[in-house]
């Protein structure tokens, strides 16, 4: 049984093609059922996000799977195959598992290390699982991918460090204050980044967000956006005394918060830390404010520098993440190979059992004279001999290092024991077109 | 037998360091588990010594240091379990291992000076050791606060930034540890004064008791410690000296304690050098 993957992603297809092949806006469950119904194994998972549409199936014949999935995409989305076929990528077995593991780890994402994708992979599997469209192969594959995502998250710094100015500000706030609930936020001047940062802070459960602007209407609009409270421009100083986090983004040509302003309220602040995020250019906050004890002043360049540092740290973690992916690919492949030997092992066991029964049958005349207890012993002893003889070959066949060797061994076993109905388990993609005799199902 | 807790502390110290560097939660759990086992072994050792000398082994410097290490470990474990914060282990374990090594390599004989045979003495020493354990935690929390403060203030978010708890968490833990330590220190010093007065009446000729005054280095530094921590708490509550100032004070206070505990305890003849 092969793992086969066919899909488009942001790396292979432009957005208009991805849009047309998107499943997420339609019923993904129905699509999974439609795909699964086409395969004897009945295993399929559809992973569809804004950056990718991928179909994973377990198939005996990857070449056929490819044709069928192209045909499926064509009929399901009503899109001529020639419009998307050149953008489609396919992966088989080890490559397919590596691809999924990299996706789950966030290595294949537009923003490397982003955490949402793991949840999307889990959802995709869940949709298929609730419709009973997954079997042992894809279940194992996807469960392993969840583990890879988790390992990469906990063992590497791939997902660490904010990579947008807004999130960098939130991460800093958390590093200063710990939990942000009940922290007061003051937004001075309405702008896109200040609004975004305030929204991130709101999502972290901060206390009151006070918004002020020279134009009262702007303050009210932003306050409504972030469920905050608009306050008059004249109240800026007193609001400064109550705030823990200040975001400034006015168009003022001169600083609007001076060292004297902050020092003036420091008595009321009783030494509480004050985190000021100055997004405005030219700056809204005097640089000297940053010299005050317990004031942490970050301007837009400082935050950009943090983001850059985080990005370079993330890329330095890619190697470690890839190493984890490789380990898990190897483990999954070993498991899949051990399954590849299963039909041969089953046939071999059946053959041995068949011989044993035939011999017992042949000696029926002589054994007939034995007491029931003695007959049971003969039966048990012969069975045990078979078991012992099969023990080592079974273990060896399951543990073969690669598919070429496995083919050679299963072929040899098939010939040696005349397992007529058995065929070697085919391996690499290039041999897919070779005509294969029917394989019995185990 | 004395070496077993030390070896376990070393193992756990290495585990905390690996956990700090690699941030592997499995290693972190192993570190906590090994520290827990070390604390158990140490409890057993102290229990054995208690049975041997019929009192908690506090009356010689090495045994007092060992008991201090034990208390520090227990208070650290308490802190770790209540805050679910393991990163401090890498700062605490070096103190634990260092002091426990001193305690293991230096021979210590429990004193049998009859003057010490008083419940006041045990309350005095036990309270001070509890105070020192709390101040050791506070000192390390203060140190990490200062390191992280510097990174955030200088806008260079480096190695520690991604590992340490938030500044406010460190500050809160520091404040709690200092408060607990101050209460024990106050009890310890007060009891020491009462006990000295009582013993003087009973044994007016005892040379140790005659030396008990502020001129004595041990007592001088103990009172200095009390002044520093009292000021730190006052400044925090009244002057708003939180954060870096409080962290700095807690670190200085702990430095004075270490000085008083080790060099003065070992090398300087004081009123507390009982024969």
Model confidence pLDDT, tens digit, residues A89-107: 999 999 999 999 999 999 9
Catalytic annotation, residues of A: 50
Angle subtended at Cα A242 by Cα A236 and Cα A243, rounded to the nearest 5 degrees: 80
Q: Which chain A residue is nearest to residue B242, measuring alpha carbons?
A: A271
All residues of chain B having their beta carbon less than 8 Å from the beta carbon of residue A155 are 22-24
Q: A273, B168: Cβ pair inside 8 Å? A: yes
Q: B157, A178: Cβ pair inside 8 Å? A: no
**Among candidate residues B83, B108, B133, the one where a domain is terminated:** B108
Q: Which chain B residue is nearest to residue A297, measuring alpha carbons?
A: B153
Q: Provide the pLDDT for residue A442.
A: 36
3-state percent breakdown (helix, strand, coil) of chain A, nearest 5: 60, 10, 30
Q: Are residues B97 and B198 in the same domain?
A: no
Q: Taking the CB of residue B63, how many other CB atoms lie within 10 A of it?
A: 20
Considering the domain A2-160 in this protein, what is its CATH number? 3.30.460.30
Q: Return the H-helix or E-strand segment holding B81.
A: helix B61-83
Q: Which chain B residue is nearest to residue A298, measuring alpha carbons?
A: B155
Give me the total of CB pairs closer than 8 Å, taking one residue from chain A and one from chain B.
58
- Closest to A294 (Cβ–Cβ): which among B148, B162, B243? B243
Q: Are A36 and A58 in contact (CB under 8 A)?
A: no
Q: How far is A191 from chain B (nearest CA, A)?
A: 24
Q: Are residues B138 and B236 in the same domain?
A: yes
Alpha helical stretches, state H, B84-240? 89-105, 119-153, 167-202, 207-211, 217-238
- Closest to B166 (Cβ–Cβ): which among A174, A269, A270? A174
Q: Provide the pLDDT for residue A426.
A: 39
Candidate ranges A48-52, A111-115, B184-188; pick with highest mean pLDDT: B184-188
Q: How many Å apart are CA A71 and CA A420, to the nearest integer?
A: 35
Q: What is the 3 state secondary structure string of A82-134? A: HHHHHHCEEEEHHHHHHHHHHHHHCCCCCCCCCCHHHHHHHHHHHHHHHCCCC
The closest alpha carbon to A294, from B177, B248, B110, B103, belongs to B248
**A262 CB within 8 Å of a chain B CB:** no
Q: Are residues B139 and B63 in the same domain?
A: no
The closest alpha carbon to B147, from B135, B162, B133, belongs to B162
- Closest to A177 (Cβ–Cβ): which among B153, B155, B168? B168
Q: A293, B166: Cβ pair inside 8 Å? A: no
Best probe of the A interface among B168, B172, B173, B243, by most A CBs < 10 A, is B168
Per the structure, the count of domains in chain B is: 2
β partners of residue A274: A295
Q: B161, A178: Cβ pair inside 8 Å? A: no
Q: Provide the pLDDT for residue B112.
A: 61
**A175 CB within 8 Å of a chain B CB:** yes
- Closest to B241 (Cβ–Cβ): which among A155, A176, A271? A271
All residues of chain A having their beta carbon less than 8 Å from the beta carbon of residue B240 are 269-272
Q: How far is B88 from chain A (nearest CA, A)?
A: 16
Q: B167, A273: Cβ pair inside 8 Å? A: yes
Q: Are residues B48 and B177 in the same domain?
A: no
| pLDDT class of A440 with cuts at 50, 70, 90 | very low
Q: A160, B242: Cβ pair inside 8 Å? A: no
- Closest to B152 (Cβ–Cβ): which among A176, A269, A293? A176
Model confidence pLDDT, tens digit, residues A175-225: 999 888 889 999 998 777 788 888 888 888 898 999 999 888 888 988 998
Q: Which chain A residue is nearest to residue B164, measuring alpha carbons?
A: A175
**In chain A, domain spans:** 2-160, 165-307, 336-365+372-431
pLDDT at A438 over 80: no
Q: Which chain A residue is nearest to residue B246, measuring alpha carbons?
A: A271
Decide the pairing of beta strands A2-9 and A89-92.
antiparallel
Q: Are residues B224 and B202 in the same domain?
A: yes
Model confidence pLDDT, tens digit, residues B36-83: 999 999 999 989 888 887 777 777 778 888 888 999 999 899 888 888
Is the predicted ipTM greater than 0.90, yes or no?
Answer: no
- Closest to A178 (Cβ–Cβ): which among B161, B166, B241? B166
**A424 CB within 8 Å of a chain B CB:** no
Q: Provide the pLDDT for residue B115.
A: 64
Q: Are residues B127 and B98 in the same domain?
A: no
Q: Are residues B67 and B34 in the same domain?
A: yes
Q: Provide the pLDDT for residue B268.
A: 65
All residues of chain B having their beta carbon less than 8 Å from the beta carbon of residue A296 are 152-153
**Among candidate residues B108, B133, B153, the one where a domain is terminated:** B108
User: In this structure, what token pair is assigned to residue B123?
Assistant: 């309350």
**Among candidate residues B58, B77, B108, the one where a domain is terminated:** B108
Q: Are A81 and A133 in contact (CB under 8 A)?
A: no
Q: Provide the pLDDT for residue A322.
A: 95
> In a structure prediction context, what are the per-residue pLDDT tens digits for chain B, which is 275 residues long?
778 999 999 999 999 999 988 878 889 999 999 999 999 999 999 898 888 877 777 777 788 888 889 999 998 998 888 888 888 899 999 999 998 998 888 766 666 666 667 778 888 888 988 898 899 899 999 999 999 999 999 888 877 887 888 998 899 889 989 999 999 999 999 998 888 888 877 777 777 776 777 777 788 888 888 999 999 999 888 888 888 889 999 999 998 888 877 777 666 666 676 65
Q: Are residues B216 and B159 in the same domain?
A: yes
pLDDT at A250 over 90: no
Q: Are residues B195 and B86 in the same domain?
A: no
Rg of chain B, C-alpha, whole Å: 19
All residues of chain B having their beta carbon less than 8 Å from the beta carbon of residue A293 are 243-245
**A263 CB within 8 Å of a chain B CB:** no
**A270 CB within 8 Å of a chain B CB:** yes
**With pLDDT > 70 as the criterion, what percentage of chain A qualifies?**
94
All residues of chain B having their beta carbon less than 8 Å from the beta carbon of residue A270 are 240, 242
Q: Provide the pLDDT for residue B109.
A: 63
Q: Which chain A residue is nearest to residue B160, measuring alpha carbons?
A: A175
**A237 CB within 8 Å of a chain B CB:** no
Q: How many Å apart are CA A272 and CA A335, to the nearest integer?
A: 57
pLDDT at A433 over 50: no
Residue span of the structural domain in which B225 resides: 111-275
β partners of residue A55: A6, A46
Q: Provide the pLDDT for residue B183.
A: 94
The mean-pLDDT minimum among A117-121, A156-160, B56-60 falls in: B56-60
Q: A177, B241: Cβ pair inside 8 Å? A: no
**With pLDDT > 90 as the criterion, what percentage of chain A qualifies?**
39
| pLDDT class of A422 with cuts at 50, 70, 90 | very low
Q: A293, B168: Cβ pair inside 8 Å? A: no
Higher pLDDT residue, A189 or A5? Answer: A5
User: In this structure, what token pair is assigned to residue B198?
Assistant: 């009582």
In the block, tokens 């426990």 appear at B100
Considering the domain A165-307 in this protein, what is its CATH number? 3.40.50.720
- Closest to A176 (Cβ–Cβ): which among B22, B168, B239? B168
Q: Are residues B170 and B189 in the same domain?
A: yes
Q: Are residues B16 and B128 in the same domain?
A: no
Q: Are residues B143 and B40 in the same domain?
A: no
**A306 CB within 8 Å of a chain B CB:** yes
Q: How far is B34 from chain A (nearest CA, A)?
A: 21
**A381 CB within 8 Å of a chain B CB:** no
Q: pTM here? A: 0.69
User: Averaged over A388-407, what is the pLDDT?
Assistant: 84
Q: B168, A269: Cβ pair inside 8 Å? A: no
User: Averaged over A66-79, what is the pLDDT?
Assistant: 90
Q: Provide the pLDDT for residue B261.
A: 73
């Amino acid at each position: 049984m092969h793992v086969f993957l066919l899909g488009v992603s942001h790396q292979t297809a432009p957005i208009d093609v991805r849009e047309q092949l998107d499943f997420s806006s339609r019923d993904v469950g129905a699509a999974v059922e439609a795909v699964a119904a086409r395969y004897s194994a009945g295993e399929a998972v559809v992973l569809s996000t804004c950056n990718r549409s991928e179909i994973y199936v377990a198939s005996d014949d990857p070449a056929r799977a490819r044709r069928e999935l192209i045909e499926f995409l064509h009929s399901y989305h009503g899109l001529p195959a020639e419009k998307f076929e050149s953008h489609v990528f396919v992966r088989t077995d080890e490559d397919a598992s590596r691809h999924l593991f990299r996706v789950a780890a966030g290595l294949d994402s537009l923003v490397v290390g982003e955490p949402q994708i793991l949840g999307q992979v889990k959802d995709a599997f869940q949709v298929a699982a609730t419709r009973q469209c997954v079997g042992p192969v894809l279940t194992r594959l996807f469960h392993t991918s969840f583990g890879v995502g988790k390992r990469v998250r906990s063992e590497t710094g791939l997902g660490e460090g904010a990579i947008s100015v807004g999130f960098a500000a939130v991460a800093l706030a958390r590093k200063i204050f710990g939990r942000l609930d009940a922290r007061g936020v003051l937004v001075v001047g309405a702008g896109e980044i200040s609004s975004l940062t305030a929204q991130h802070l709101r999502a972290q459960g901060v206390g009151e967000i006070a918004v002020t602007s020279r134009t009262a209407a702007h303050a009210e609009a932003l306050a409504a956006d972030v469920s905050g409270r608009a306050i008059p421009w004249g109240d800026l100083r007193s609001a400064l005394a109550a705030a823990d986090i200040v975001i400034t983004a006015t168009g003022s040509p001169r600083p609007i918060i001076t060292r004297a302003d902050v020092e003036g309220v420091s008595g009321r602040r009783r030494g509480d830390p004050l985190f000021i995020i100055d997004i405005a250019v030219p700056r809204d906050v005097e640089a000297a404010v940053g010299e005050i004890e317990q004031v942490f002043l970050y301007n837009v360049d400082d935050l950009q520098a943090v983001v850059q540092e985080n990005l370079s740290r993330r890329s330095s973690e890619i190697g470690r993440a890839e190493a984890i992916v490789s380990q898990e690919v190897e483990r999954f492949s070993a498991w899949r190979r051990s399954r590849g030997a299963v039909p041969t092992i089953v046939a071999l066991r059946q053959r041995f059992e068949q011989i044993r029964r035939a011999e017992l049958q042949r000696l029926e005349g002589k054994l007939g004279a034995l007491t029931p207890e003695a007959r049971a012993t003969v039966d048990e002893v012969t069975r045990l001999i078979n078991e012992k003889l099969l023990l080592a070959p079974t273990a060896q066949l399951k543990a073969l290092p690669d598919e070429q060797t496995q083919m050679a061994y299963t072929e040899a076993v098939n010939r040696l024991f005349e397992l007529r109905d058995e065929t070697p388990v085919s391996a690499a993609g290039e041999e897919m077109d070779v005509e294969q005799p029917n394989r019995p199902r185990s | 037998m004395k070496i077993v807790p030390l070896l376990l502390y070393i193992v756990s110290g290495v585990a905390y360091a690996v956990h700090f560097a690699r941030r592997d939660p499995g290693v972190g759990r192993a570190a906590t588990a090994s520290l827990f086992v070390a604390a158990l072994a140490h409890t057993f050792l102290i229990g054995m010594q208690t049975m041997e000398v019929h009192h908690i082994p506090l009356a010689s410097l090495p045994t007092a240091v060992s008991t201090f290490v034990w208390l520090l470990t227990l208070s650290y474990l308490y802190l770790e379990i209540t805050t679910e914060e393991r990163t401090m282990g890498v700062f605490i374990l070096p103190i634990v291992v260092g002091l426990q090594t001193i305690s293991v390599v230096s021979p210590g004989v429990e004193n049998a000076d009859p003057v010490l045979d008083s419940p006041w003495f045990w309350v005095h020493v036990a309270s001070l050791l509890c105070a020192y354990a709390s101040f050791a935690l506070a000192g390390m929390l203060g140190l990490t606060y200062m390191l992280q403060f510097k990174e955030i203030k200088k806008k260079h978010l480096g190695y520690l930034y991604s590992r340490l708890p938030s500044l406010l968490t460190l500050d809160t833990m520091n404040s709690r540890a200092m408060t607990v330590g101050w209460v024990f220190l106050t009890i310890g010093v007060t009891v020491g004064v009462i006990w000295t007065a009582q013993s003087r009446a009973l044994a007016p000729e005892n040379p140790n008791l005659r030396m008990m005054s502020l001129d004595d280095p041990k007592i001088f530094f103990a009172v200095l410690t009390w002044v520093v921590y009292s000021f730190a708490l006052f400044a925090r509550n009244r002057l708003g000296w939180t954060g870096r100032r409080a962290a700095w004070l807690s670190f200085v206070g702990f430095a004075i304690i270490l000085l008083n505990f080790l060099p003065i305890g070992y090398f300087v003849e004081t009123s507390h050098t009982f024969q």
